[in-house]
């Protein structure tokens, strides 16, 4: 081989190596190149479903690609998470991750179908404080009156949740444990049906986010006794916090985030996070979120990962101390 041939071979090998190295980046730069599937682990009508459907059209405008919301309810969000994990690791399938799925479920007795450590955190969408809601026919108007009523009727007061192991379930268990009252858990497959039964009086109590319960409050179908938060909500300025109402150290504030399965391209993660942050900065979305009791975040993947680590430590202790009954 002469020098000219050797040089030609060397250049060819170098170009080939560069092309191979850049192939994943070129692929990632095309992201998204098909519709993005956004899986919600709860039935239509719940807070996570409402948030997903508020974000989807705005994300479509930023990503220049369709964002399809798909409801896969059941197992406190685990079915949706498992579906996302089993999907192709190309970033075109993501899911609405929640406190219950990633921070509470790992500490409950039943076995999870996946390892939460394999989940790819993209961004924390927002905090969604709970309202303490009761049926309009329940003869109470304050937290103090509810606790008195529950103590006078042990085992006869029930509370609804969107499923075993959800944050709403744990909030009820924390109330039962902290206030030393005998209330009975009634799990549903989603917040929508639970809200219907609370409205009809079949169940007495439920913890739910303002975004999904405001229409019931505005119509007088339900009563809100307090917001489980460290400050009052902008949309409900007259509603006291649980601390103000006499329930000290009771702040089971859930959050909602955007996550994916393991191994999705880093560029896809960055694109999704930046798109979500851009949407959350939209004045129209911020106004709607704040009015509905949603506190927007839009954190980076690194910030979200650090938050998840601290959040799991917090909820792990709460699960243990509350003696959660499944």
- Average pLDDT of the segment spanning 208-236: 92
Query: What pLDDT is attached to residue 29?
Result: 63
Confidence of residue 51 (pLDDT cuts 50, 70, 90): very high
Dihedral sign of CA atoms 208, 132, 299, 309 in order = negative
Question: Which range has the worst mean pLDDT, 8-12, 91-95, 209-213?
Answer: 8-12
- The answer, yes or no, to whether residue 98 has pLDDT greater than 60, is yes
Q: How many helices (H) and strands (E) does the chain have?
A: 11, 11
Most confident listed range (12-26, 61-75, 157-171, 243-257): 61-75
Query: What pLDDT is attached to residue 6?
Result: 44
- Contact criterion met (CB below 8 Å) for 204 and 158: yes
- Contact criterion met (CB below 8 Å) for 239 and 297: no
Q: Measuring CA to CA, which residue among 271, 213, 273 is closest to residue 239?
A: 213
Distance (Å, rounded) from C-alpha 301 to C-alpha 274?
10
Confidence of residue 9 (pLDDT cuts 50, 70, 90): very low
DSSP secondary structure letters along 187-241? E-SSHHHHHHHHHHTSS-EEEEEHHHHHHHHHHTSEEEEEEESSS-BTTBTTSPB
What share of the chain has pLDDT > 90, as a percent? 70
Confidence of residue 164 (pLDDT cuts 50, 70, 90): confident
Query: What pLDDT is attached to residue 320?
Result: 78
DSSP secondary structure letters along 277-313? HHHHT-HHHHHHHHHTT-EE----HHHHHHHHHHHHH
Higher pLDDT, residue 74 or 94: 94
Query: What pLDDT is attached to residue 13?
Result: 38
pLDDT tens per residue across span 244-271 = 999 988 888 899 999 999 999 999 999 9
Provide φ and ψ at 85, rounded to 5°.
Answer: -65, -35
Which domains, from first to last, does the chain contain? 34-128+254-322 (3.40.190.150), 130-228 (3.40.190.10)
Q: CB-based burial of residue 1 (10 Å sphere; 0-12 exposed, 13-18 middle, 19+ buried)? A: exposed
Higher pLDDT, residue 267 or 190: 267
Mean pLDDT of the chain: 89
Higher pLDDT, residue 251 or 133: 133
Higher pLDDT, residue 324 or 86: 86
Provide φ and ψ at 271, rounded to 5°.
Answer: -65, -45
Confidence of residue 322 (pLDDT cuts 50, 70, 90): low
pTM: 0.80
Provide φ and ψ at 129, rounded to 5°.
Answer: -55, 145
Strands of the 67-71 sheet, one edge to the other = 67-71, 36-40, 93-98, 255-260, 120-127, 295-296
What share of the chain has pLDDT > 70, as a percent? 90
- The answer, yes or no, to whether residue 103 has pLDDT greater than 60, is yes
Question: Which range has the worst mean pLDDT, 2-11, 52-61, 92-101, 247-256?
Answer: 2-11
259 three-state secondary structure: strand
- The answer, yes or no, to whether residue 177 has pLDDT greater than 60, is yes
Query: What pLDDT is attached to residue 166?
Result: 85
Provide φ and ψ at 72, rounded to 5°.
Answer: -130, 75
Confidence of residue 7 (pLDDT cuts 50, 70, 90): very low
């Amino acid at each position: 081989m002469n020098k000219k041939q050797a040089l030609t071979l060397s250049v060819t090998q170098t170009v080939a190596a560069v092309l191979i190295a850049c192939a994943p980046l070129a692929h990632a730069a095309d992201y998204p190149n098909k519709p993005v599937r956004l899986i919600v682990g709860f039935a239509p009508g719940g807070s996570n479903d409402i948030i997903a459907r508020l974000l989807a059209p705005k994300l479509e405008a930023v990503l220049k690609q369709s964002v399809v919301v798909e409801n896969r309810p059941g197992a406190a969000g685990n079915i949706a998470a498992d579906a996302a994990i089993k999907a192709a690791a190309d970033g075109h399938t993501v899911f609405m991750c929640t406190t219950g799925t990633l921070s509470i479920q790992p500490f409950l007795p039943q076995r999870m179908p996946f390892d939460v450590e394999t989940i790819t955190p993209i961004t924390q969408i927002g905090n969604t404080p709970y309202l303490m809601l009761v049926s309009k026919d329940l003869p109470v108007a304050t937290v103090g009156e509810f606790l008195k009523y529950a103590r006078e009727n042990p085992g006869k007061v029930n509370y609804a949740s969107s499923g075993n192991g959800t944050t709403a379930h744990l909030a009820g268990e924390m109330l039962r444990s902290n206030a030393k009252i005998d209330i009975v858990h009634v799990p549903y497959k989603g917040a929508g049906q639970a809200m219907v039964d609370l409205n009809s009086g079949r169940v007495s109590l439920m913890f739910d986010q303002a975004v999904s319960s405001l229409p019931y409050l505005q119509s007088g179908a339900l009563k809100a006794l307090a917001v489980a938060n460290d400050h009052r909500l902008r949309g409900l300025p007259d509603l006291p916090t649980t601390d103000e109402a006499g329930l000290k150290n009771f702040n089971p504030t859930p959050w909602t985030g955007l996550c994916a399965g393991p191994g999705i391209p880093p560029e896809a993660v960055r694109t999704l996070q930046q798109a979500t942050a851009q949407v959350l900065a939209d004045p129209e979305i911020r106004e709607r979120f704040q009015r509905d009791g949603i506190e927007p975040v839009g954190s980076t993947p690194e910030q979200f990962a650090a938050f998840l680590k601290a959040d799991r430590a917090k909820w792990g202790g709460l699960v243990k101390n509350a003696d959660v009954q499944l």
